[in-house]
Amino acid sequence: MCLGFFLHCSYIHLFMLIHITKSIRVFFRRLFHAFFPPCCICCGAPLLPYEKYYCGSCDAGMSRYNERENSADSKRNMTFFLAAHVEHFVFAYYYVRGDAIQKIIHEMKYHYSPDLCRYMGRIMATEESIERVLPEIDYLIPIPIFADRLRERGYNQSELLCYGISDETGIPVLPDAVRRVRRTPKQALRGRDERIENVKDAFEVVTPASLIDKHVAVVDDVVTTGVTTSECIRAIYKIPGIRCSVLSLSSTPHL
């Protein structure tokens, strides 16, 4: 009986300690934010209590993609991807240099922001252009990055976007379904023909049997020329009966 009473008291003390620790942590977080309020990663303005990462003004200023309102863009994009026979190519924002979305993606890639990446995936899942496609998707597949770049960055931002989408939808993520079989130099300063040659045969499907007759979505942070995405899709389409769509956080206005 004494042992039981002792254990009961111990559990109460442990519960109180955990509760006090959490309260102290919340207090100091609020105190820190009172003197150093979190700022928008795009414009530097202080964030309101309900805002996260970027302010409402920057959010409103980003150009959202709506396939129904931009039928010309939709036809152009689908024509570009016709060689890969994608079911859908949709994205959340137009990627415009100097715009807030460029700053967000730069933060995701170069300032170690894994939480931001996952958050933007959740945002993707709620954008109309992407949201209407998601019920068709069986699996989410991130554009893979090579091992040394993964070590350098600490994460694959496309993979974390997938997990953010999955948080909202429950769609399973297959982070290792496709891999890069060779390191490719960065595409940023290369012309279209150079990009095509640069990524040729750079991808390989690791688990083809599990993807037979499935509809997968390849997920990326930004589609510029679409060359890397198309090459990844080309590897995926070696699987019998597979269907593929492309979901991107952003895309340039003209591919």
Give the orientation angle of helix 227-236 with respect to helix 192-199, to 10 degrees. Answer: 30
Maximum distance among all alpha carbons in the chain?
80
Residue 12, CB-side half-sphere exposure with 13 Å CA sphere: 6
Token pair listed for 143: 């554009």
Does the pLDDT at position 132 exceed 90? yes
Q: Quick one: 213 exposed, middle or buried, by C-beta within 10 A (0-12, 13-18, 19+)?
A: exposed
Residue listed under structure tokens 């390989």: 204
Does the pLDDT at position 153 exceed 60? yes
Q: What is the pLDDT of residues 16-65, one digit of tens each?
A: 665 566 566 555 555 545 556 799 999 999 999 999 999 999 999 999 98
What does DSSP say about strands 215-223 and 243-251: parallel, antiparallel, or unpaired? parallel
d(CA 241, CA 248): 23
Give the mean pLDDT of 102-130. 96
* Ranges assigned E (strand) in the chain: 89-94, 139-142, 178-180, 203-205, 215-223, 243-251
Give the mean pLDDT of 212-227. 92
Q: Which of 108-112, 153-157, 168-172, 251-255 has the lowest mean pLDDT?
A: 251-255
